[in-house]
Amino acid sequence: MNICIFGASGSSLEPVYYEQAEMLGALMAKHGHTLVFGGGREGLMGAAARGVHAEGGKIIGIAPKFFDEPGILYEECNEMIFTDTMRERKQLMEEKSEATIVLPGGIGTYEEFFEMLTLKQLGRTDRAIVIVNTNGYYGPMRKLLEATAANRFMSESCLELYKLVDTPEQALDCINNYIPHTGSIRRLSDYNK
């Protein structure tokens, strides 16, 4: 299965974040999954790519042309696809994958997660969406989403459209055992039946 990973691109995080991302990549390769990611050599995405590469797995990088400068892109990709825009990059990452794993990240990662969640809510995708809550990073976001549902700005069912897990092993378990729910834009009521 092709799995898209979103996550931080920064290189100054606590070591645990890189360690867990690299472990996730290694586990993906051991399970025969292909990594689809933004092509960068740094940050958690780069760490995941190193984990995949260390175990002989396949890596597909997708990056805008303006990233093609020395030291920016991960050089061990089996395939590197260049796009004109960031928007096109994200669309191709979605099209070339069947599942999404979200690692800790900043506003770009939030935006990528919320777009996937919105698409799933609207019935435009039925992929597994798994958030790896390394070091409790996504606890505040989970509380925000719970408050959003409690105040009826979204359906409680939206909280069932993704899984929040603590470890790379749990993330792969969710992906490997995911059963899609089919339905229309009104599908949210299906989760309560």
- Determine the average pLDDT of the residues in 100-120: 96
- Average pLDDT value over all residues in the chain: 93
Q: In 3D, which of 169, 127, 121 has the Cα closest to residue 145?
A: 121
Pairing mode of beta strands 2-6, 59-64: unpaired
Alpha carbon distance 120, 99 (integer Å): 12
Higher pLDDT, 5 or 192: 5
Q: Alpha-carbon distance 103 to 86, whole Å?
A: 19
Q: Which of 26-30, 33-37, 180-184 has the lowest mean pLDDT?
A: 180-184
pLDDT at residue 187 tops 80: no
pTM for this structure?
Answer: 0.92
- The distance between the two most distant Cα atoms of the chain, rounded to a whole number of Å, is 53
Is pLDDT at 175 greater than 90 in this prediction? yes
Does the structure show a pLDDT above 70 at 189?
no
